Structure 1
Amino acid sequence: MSIPRRFLPTISSLRALEAVDRLGSAVAAAQDLDLTHSAVSRQLKSLEEQLGVTLFLRAGKGLRLTTAGRSYARSVRDCLDDLAQASLQLRAAGERNGLSLAIPLTFGLYWMAPRLQAFLCDHPQVHINQATRDGPVDFATEKFDAAVHFGVPDWPGVDTLPLARNRLVPVARPGTGLGAETPPRQLLEMPLLHLTSRPGAWESWFLQHEVAPGHLRGALFDQFMALSEAVAAGRGAALLPDFLATREIRAGRMCQIGPAFEDPGNFYHLVWPQDPAPGPELERLIAFLRSRAEDPQP
């Protein structure tokens, strides 16, 4: 049921409340909003009268938000942020139909980017906004049409499209004397670098090649990009996804030092909420990516 619009305060009064909460005083809020101090005070008084709730405690010329005022200001800030984001996206898209995607950084740069560019060439009427997310997206609270998740497809409330296998390539800086045919056991003698989100990758790699890894130690990194730079600097060996490793090997910054590792249990998936159903632009993107996705069976 729609709430009557008479209960909705004006945008100007909500902006005044948010600014006072954020900056700590009506004077600072007035400067931030390019208004006079008296104009801000009137907005705040009007807001309190409309809501019938005390939002501020006044002491001389100072203001302090009540507990109810602080809670309301947080909700207002979220609404204003959503409105500002929607306005920014609309301004950027113009008359084109927009999609908002959340994609992990490295996968977005090296696997997704060329495919999205090809999609946009085929569908110039679509505008794509892209944000970096390295973990699963909560579509109930985040304003995305679709996202890329990594792992086993056990996320509730979404439909999924497998995009790319999890194929990891062991690499090191050139000059180590090692190559693609290096026996896996020999890598135990090297410093091994790890990604925090995949702490057991090296253990799985050694076990897949029938080598007992023992207790593996080494530096931790939170992004594949940082891990890649460490390898190129000669700090040790790492397992990089093939779409990044191939690029780095071709550039001469590193070399493959053993067989690639196939992890059939984990996959990169495009995911989107089951409710509401995808719109026509998202349906076109799903169909396009389905035609260019890898076979989930290694």
Structure 2
Amino acid sequence: MTRPRRFLPSVSLLTAFEAVLRTGSTAAAARELDLTQGAVSRLVQNLESQLGRPLFLRDRRRLIPTEAARAYGRDVTRALDLIARASMEVAANPGGGVLSLAILPAFGTRWLAPRLAGFLSAHPGITVNLATRLKRFSFAAEGFDAAIHFGRDDWRDAGHLHLFQERLIACAAPAFLAAHPVAGAADLLDLPLLQIETRPTAWARWFQAQGVDAPPPRGMLFDQFAPMTQAAVHGLGVALLPDFLAEPELAEGRLVPAFGPAFGGVGSYWLVWPEARATYPPLAAFRDWLAGVTAGLR
């Protein structure tokens, strides 16, 4: 795509503008950029000239940003951050083999992390950078190459790879169940049922799968699985946990099944990526590896 040069200001112009906008003065920006105040002023004026409109109102010695400048500045800041991140990645890995991946905390620590060494061993030239995100975000704004997403294949303008359906198991601490015996699914209605924000219908679906007509559950609400798991371990109620997440606690006896087998939950795990990055070699390698690892789980 041909980009008009008028709308591609140099990094020096954009850096000076962003510094003035953020610090509030050319003097402060000059100290930060190690330039003279006059040089910063000229850079800002050159940017205004290139864009064909003022970005600051001059009031004696003060520069007051226009509303257009504030909006422009938000985009410029994101763009400069992306350039800086890309430059650091190239410096850290001259081969360009860097994959920036957004992960869900529980999935990342309990499912992906134990398997990731296999990918890195098979692709020694690729560096994987991980960051946690609980909610959807803009790939354009955040700069990730891909993300692990829970739900459906409905991320806009993105490619999707289905990993596996989440299977939930009702479990609690042994002492808790000893004090609150459960002979059938309906017995759980009298117990505190731990809930997670991202699965608001999970308990309703669990009771439906057991053939029980249940009112809305009562119990503590959590935003992540890790604290909810610990709450169950310490006897605060019954938790519906992904089977892969509960596996260590079940194996160690800190949790036991409360009633019934694991059941298909309310969504699946997906690898998602921006369409523009679909052929990026580190992403393609990771996608192929992940498809092989999860082939028997779908």
Contact 1:13 1:44 in 2 (8 A): yes
In 2: Cα distance, 1:87 partner to 1:172 partner: 48
Aligned AA (2:85)? Q
Between stretches 281-290 and 235-244, larger displacement belongs to 281-290
**Aligned residue for 2:63?**
63
Residues 98 and 126, structure 1, Cα contact 8 Å, conserved in 2: yes
Larger mean CA deviation between 161-170 and 180-189 belongs to 180-189
Distance 1:202 1:7 in 2: 53
Residue 73 (structure 2) aligns with: 73
- Does structure 2 conserve the Cα–Cα contact (< 8 Å) formed by 1:167 and 1:260? no
1:227-273 CA-partner distances (Å, limit 9, x unpaired): 22322333222111112111223345433322233226621122334
Q: Equivalences for 1:241-256 in 2 at 5 Å?
A: 241-256=242-257
Q: TM-score, normalised by structure 1?
A: 0.86
Please tell me whether the aligned partners of residues 248 and 254 of structure 1 are also in contact (alpha carbons under 8 angstroms).
yes
- The gaps in structure 2 that reach 5 residues or longer are none
Give per-residue Cα distances to partners, 1:15-53, cap 9 Å, x unaligned. Answer: 121122222222332343344433322322333334332
- SS of 1:240's partner is strand
8 Å contact 2:100–2:146 — kept in the other structure? yes
Structure 1 equivalent of residue 217 of structure 2 = 216
The one-letter amino acid paired with 1:204 is R
1:131 is aligned to 131
- 1:292 aligned to 2:259? no
**Shift, 1:182, TM fit:** 5.0
| Larger displacement relative to structure 2 (73-82 or 88-97) | 88-97
Gaps of 5+ in 1: none
Residue correspondence of structure 1 range 267-286 to structure 2 within 5 A: 267-274=268-275, 277-286=278-287
Question: Which has the higher mean CA deviation after the structures are superposed, 246-255 or 122-131?
Answer: 246-255
Preserved CA contact (<8 Å) 2:185 2:259: yes
> Over aligned residues, Cα RMSD in angstroms?
2.8
Larger helix percent: 2
Residue 184 of structure 2 is matched in structure 1 by 183
- Cα distance in 1 for residues equivalent to 2:55 and 2:96: 42
Please name the residue that 2:240 is paired with: 239
Could you report, residue by residue, the CA deviation over 1:159-191 in whole angstroms, capped at 9, with x for unpaired residues? 433222211122223311349985322222221
Secondary structure of the residue that 1:177 maps to in structure 2? helix
Query: Is the Cα–Cα contact under 8 Å of residues 162 and 294 in structure 1 kept in the other structure?
Result: no
Q: How does 1:1-298 map to 2 (within 5 A)?
A: 1-5=1-5, 8-136=8-136, 138-139=138-139, 141-178=141-178, 183-263=184-264, 266-274=267-275, 277-293=278-294, 295=296
The answer (yes or no) to whether the contact 2:165–2:264 under 8 Å persists in 1 is: yes
Q: Which moved more, 1:172-181 or 1:69-78?
A: 172-181
Query: Residues 205 and 261 of structure 1 are in contact (CA less than 8 Å); yes or no, is this contact kept in structure 2?
Result: no
- Give CA deviations for 1:194-224 in whole Å, capped at 9, x if unaligned: 1111111111111211222223222211111
Question: What is the identity, as a one-letter code, of the residue corresponding to 2:57?
Answer: L
Bigger CA drift: 196-205 or 182-191? 182-191
Task: Provide the C-alpha distance between the structure 1 equivalents of 2:274 and 2:13, rounded to a whole number of angstroms.
Answer: 35
SS in 2 for 1:175: helix
Residues 279 and 81 of structure 1: CA distance in aligned 2, closer, same or farther (over 3 Å): closer
Q: Tell me, in whole angstroms, the C-alpha distance in 2 between the residues paired with 1:138 and 1:69.
A: 22
Task: Evaluate the alpha carbon distance shift between residue 110 and residue 9 of structure 1 in structure 2; reply closer, same or farther with a 3 A threshold.
Answer: same
The alignment partner of 1:269 has SS state of strand
Q: When the two structures are superposed, what TM-score results if normalisation uses the length of structure 2? A: 0.86
Distance (whole Å) between structure 2 residues aligned to residue 71 and residue 288 of structure 1? 41
Question: What's the secondary structure of 1:193's corresponding residue?
Answer: strand
Tell me, what secondary structure is at the counterpart of 1:99?
Answer: strand
| Bigger mean CA offset, 265-274 vs 51-60 | 265-274
Summarize the Cα distance change of 1:188–1:76 in structure 2 as closer, same or farther, 3 Å threshold: same
SS of 2:124's equivalent in the other structure is: coil
Asked whether the equivalents of residues 78 and 141 of structure 2 are also in contact (C-alpha less than 8 Å), the reply is no
| Counterpart Cα distance in 2 of 1:278 and 1:182 | 53
Task: For 1:182 and 1:97, locate their aligned partners in 2 and report how far apart those are by CA, in whole Å.
Answer: 55
